[in-house]
Chains A and B, each alone.
Chain A
Amino acid sequence: MLDKPASALRLRERLLDSERLMEETGCYDGITELTLRNQDPLKFETLHTKLRAYCVSAREMARRISASPGVREVGEMVVAIYTPEGDAIALSNGIMVHVHTMSRFIKWMIKNGYEDNPRIREGDIFANNDAFIGTVQVPDVMDVVPIFHEDTLVGWAGAVCHELEAGGITPGGDVCLAQERFTEGLFVCAEKIGENDEIRRDYVIRCERNLRMPIYWVLDEKAKVASCIDMRESVKQLISEIGLDYWMKVSKEFIEEGRRAQLARTRQLTVPGIYRGHTFYGHVTAGKPGFQLLGDPDWLYNIPIEMEITTDGKITMDFEGTQPWGYHSMNCTPAGMDGGMFVTLTQHMNFEGLVNDGAWMATELKLPHGTWTNPDNEMVATATSWALLLPAYGVFQRLLSRSFVARGYVEEAFVGQVNSPMIEMGGESQYGTPFGMAHFECAAAGSGALAIKDGLDTAYVGWNPESDMGNIEVWEQSMPMVYIGRSIMPNSGGAGKYRGGCSFVSTWLINNTSHLRLHTSEHSSRVFDNGGMCGGYPAPTCQKHRAVRNSNIHELAAKGEPLAHAPGIDPHVSDYEKNIGGDHVVVEGPYITSPHKSGDIFSHSYNGGGGYGDVLERDPIKTAWDVENGFLTRQAADQVFGIVLKDDEDGYPVADIDATVERRAEMRKQRLAKAIPVADWIAKERGRVEKADFAPEVKKMYASAIKLSSRFTREFSEFWNVDARSIFMPGAKP
């Protein structure tokens, strides 16, 4: 039991002691009874609410200090309060993925002897953005300050902002061209960047000289430090009211309570068993300028997940069978994987009670060594780890949702998140100055459908539950491009009884610059990186980029001719091609090309979410509304959903119910006529598998998975009744 309020033990010993107690008792820090909660539950709850209020208030204050539209507009920030050993007690809203990654950062410093050198003292400020120490990617810069009561370290206050510019080989934060750590940008590896509550001048100079847009990073540092000091002083005031002994005990009971609440909620909302799912991601870079030939340029990633829920309420996620790390920026570290788990749990299961690191402790991740989830090489780049992380946790959301459906809590089932393709830029700003920036309107994708309604349109991303695309006018202040369109993408949600939320597409006119580098990342090529559920289809998430160089848009505008504000709905010829003259470009995969200049046009589309349920059960009246409002097209209503629409007297679409019933009966017949028994299909496909009659990238994917996973090999071999190793790795040693 914890009874060491002002322990004389050194931090490292306290941390190891805490881990040992957890191992021995199964309870956080050996807390087998919630004594303080039982003594006075009202006081217990009130104190946690106060801590949460400290966090929320500190974050809101800090956002006003930031200069970054990512932090100010989109809310790319989170703050939290930790135990001396670095476990989160309470947190704010915002990008909660980083609450647990900061925990890893604090523990890393403790385990690496920071008490002795560089020492941990009142007023110190430590920063980190190294994902192998504890963050997700290089732009996620975290600051922590210790909280002392008299001479005893009694906790930490921490804050993270996602920086819009990280100084990497390509501008922005999600440095798409990084293929190794050394091109990702400015690293701050668990450094003491300030003392006596003041950020060191030499650190600021380093930032100013190594970033394209240091105002974002430096003012975000000030915002984070201000929020940490604010939380620290609040906690110190609280300790003066409740006493140090009570604080040291209650702060840990909060975490054990969080752990127990997570287990209880799993038992309440789910069904024990084994759940499986997968998704894929296509990375296509062959021939693109700038990529070094360090590995195969094109890569198909499989992301299989097996989730086990045991009867004690523990959730285990196993990524065995996935692909190795690669010479690209999409690798992830265990810290990032933890963060993904944490932010998903906070959204789907911890919607009441105490939310803290306890929830994470009630789960387990199995991350196979050598895969993109747990690279065995710390030189790899992780700048766009979200590319694989988001699809992976979308699978987790679907697996959890299947358990909610089975338990009867249909209102909690949710088809999940999708990737958030980033657009980043740098070069000469509209003011004639050097600049660099990540555009964060991607923080508002379409969500997956629910089991009882359509998904949210342009209003959800998994990594920031406060999803917000930001105001056009604010983005326009920060970049040499003006919007000529920001539109809903019709049919961009996955089809289903309930469709996925729709995404949007932006179209910009490049303006007042002679040199604008535009880059994109986290946009899957050639495969959808999401799924549907219970009969719903995945959302179409392998969109290409469209641009017009040397456009005649100014001439068209001068003549009052119609322009194009979106790519339109013709998959073969875009509205840009139909309406605007110039050199039209269609690019698959990351957009990495020569700089743009004034007069060029660029468009970027985001992702919709997957669908739920059989398309032939979709509500015809809702569908007519969707068509009227641009979420679905008439063609999709008819062809995909079997809904016959006619026009009312004002020309608006209305559903013809009788004709729809008839059409759907016919479609169901056609569906059965086309389908074959699965056993027949397997028999036919086995021949193709035996010959490995697949695209080179598909064969490479199988060979890589087989090399890393005996379970994948066994399951593949058993399913097809073949010897997978001899097919995909002929000549390899057993």
Chain B
Amino acid sequence: MTSYSKEVLGDLAAGKLPWPQTRRIMSAYKDDDRFFKMVAVYQDRIAWKDPILLPVSDHLFICQSGDERITRCECGHSFGDYRKNWKLNAAINVRNTEEALREIYPNSDLPDPEWMEIREFICPQCGTLHEVEAAAPGYPIVHDFEPDLEGFYREWLGKPL
């Protein structure tokens, strides 16, 4: 069975693994023990102690915090119950003027701010930019991911939550 060390997976997640090795991992049969090893890699990376249950973005994790399961930023900030949309507890910066859009797109033709705005969802504690939406004005904020956490652990991982 294919398997990689935590060190290799840590370098892979950090984008530090040399390309030939990365390419071999991409082409090889997948390593079935990846999930818990990758969780361990992330767990080593963070300063807080709550056990990670599921990574959901580059720096966002669902974790077990006491009796609750919450979405937490790598910096430790809690976005609340994992079943709720974490974006609703984020800070937001909306780019809906030519001047604000030009900061990110210095050379290109720009969207018409009457038709589209760029929404940046930011951790209010550390300032990490967790997600960007490009949406028409008035479009509801998207709830990106509602994992079936119970089903995932019970039926696919074969382990209790």
Contact = CB atoms under 8 A, between A and B. Distances in A.
Interface of A: 267-269, 271-280, 282, 300, 302, 309, 311, 352, 402, 405-412, 451-453, 490-492, 495, 497-498, 526-528, 530-538, 540, 542-544, 569-571, 612-616, 619, 633, 635-636, 639-640, 668-669, 671-672, 674-679, 681-682, 685, 688-689, 694-695, 697-698, 701-702, 715-716, 719-720
A698 B138 contact: yes
B107 interface: yes
A330 B14 CA distance: 40
Contacts of A530: 134
Contact of B121 (A280, A402, A678, A679): A678
Contact of A280 (B30, B107, B116, B128): B116
A695 B120 contact: no
Given A528-B116, A615-B129, A678-B121, A408 B58 contact: no
B17 to A, nearest CB: 8
Contact of B116 (A526, A570, A616, A702): A526
A526 B111 CA distance: 4
Interface in B93-119: 93-94, 102-112, 114-116, 118
B109 A543 contact: yes
Contacts of B120: 671, 675
B131 interface: yes
A56 B130 CA distance: 43
Nearest to A614: B129
B64 interface: no
Contacts of A405: 55-58
Contact of A675 (B91, B109, B146): B91
Given A406-B145, A411-B26, A527-B111, A716 B140 contact: yes
Contacts of B46: none
The 3 A-B pairs at the shortest CB distance, nearest first, are namely: A408-B38, A540-B108, A719-B140
B37 interface: yes
Contacts of B104: 495, 537, 640
Q: Looking at A275, A410, A570, A702, which has the most chain B CB atoms within 10 Å of its CB?
A: A410
A700 to B, nearest CB: 11
Contact of B107 (A278, A452, A490, A695): A490
A35 to B, nearest CB: 25
A542 B109 contact: yes
Contact of A410 (B12, B102, B132): B12
Contact of A681 (B29, B94, B155): B94
Given A405-B55, A535-B131, A542-B111, A452 B152 contact: no
Contacts of A668: 126-127
Contacts of A452: 12-13, 15, 17, 22
Contacts of B26: 411-412
A276 B108 CA distance: 28
B107 A311 contact: no
Given A492-B108, A526-B116, A716-B140, A278 B15 contact: no
Nearest to B22: A411
Contacts of B108: 491-492, 540, 542-543, 571
Contacts of B134: 279-280, 527-528, 530-532, 538
Interface residues of B, number: 78
23 contacts: A271-B54, A271-B148, A272-B152, A275-B146, A276-B144, A406-B56, A406-B147, A408-B37, A410-B12, A451-B58, A452-B13, A453-B15, A533-B131, A534-B57, A535-B131, A536-B132, A569-B106, A571-B110, A616-B129, A640-B106, A675-B92, A689-B138, A716-B140
A624 B65 CA distance: 42
Nearest to B16: A452
B34 interface: yes
Given A497-B58, A531-B134, A681 B92 contact: yes
Contacts of A688: 137-138
A498 B15 CA distance: 9
Contacts of B147: 271-273, 406
B87 interface: yes
B24 to A, nearest CB: 10
B161 interface: no
Contacts of A278: 135, 139, 142
A622 to B, nearest CB: 10
Contact of B145 (A274, A282, A570, A695): A274
Contact of A408 (B55, B135, B152): B55
Contacts of A612: 58
B35 interface: yes
B91 A672 contact: yes
B140 A720 contact: yes
Interface in B14-62: 15, 17, 19, 22, 25-26, 29-30, 32, 34-35, 37-39, 54-59
Nearest to B121: A678
Given A535-B130, A698-B137, A409 B30 contact: yes
Main secondary structure of the interface of B (DSSP, over half): mixed
Nearest to A665: B127
B112 A408 contact: no
Main secondary structure of the interface of A (DSSP, over half): mixed
Contacts of B19: 453
B3 interface: no
Contacts of A635: 106-107
A672 B92 CA distance: 9
Given A571-B107, A668-B127, A402 B144 contact: yes
B105 to A, nearest CB: 5
Nearest to A307: B145
A689 B135 CA distance: 14
A637 to B, nearest CB: 10
Contacts of B22: 411, 452-453
A639 B107 CA distance: 12
A325 B34 CA distance: 44
A276 B143 contact: yes
A703 to B, nearest CB: 12
A669 B156 contact: no
B86 to A, nearest CB: 10
B132 A537 contact: yes
Nearest to A701: B136
B115 A698 contact: yes
B130 to A, nearest CB: 6
B136 A527 contact: yes
Contact of A633 (B90, B106, B122): B106
Given A534-B58, A695-B112, 17 more contacts: A268-B30, A268-B32, A271-B147, A272-B148, A280-B115, A300-B136, A311-B155, A402-B145, A453-B22, A491-B105, A535-B129, A537-B118, A640-B103, A640-B104, A640-B106, A671-B93, A678-B87
Contacts of B35: 407-408
A527 B134 CA distance: 8
A730 to B, nearest CB: 16
Contacts of B137: 688, 694-695, 698
A712 to B, nearest CB: 9
Nearest to A495: B104
Contact of B151 (A272, A528, A669): A272
Contacts of B139: 278, 302
A550 B133 CA distance: 42
B110 A269 contact: no
Given A409-B34, A640-B104, A694 B114 contact: yes
Contacts of B15: 452-453, 497-498, 619
Nearest to B23: A411
A1 B26 CA distance: 37
A695 B96 CA distance: 13
A695 B114 contact: yes
Contact of B110 (A491, A542, A633, A702): A542
Nearest to A403: B145
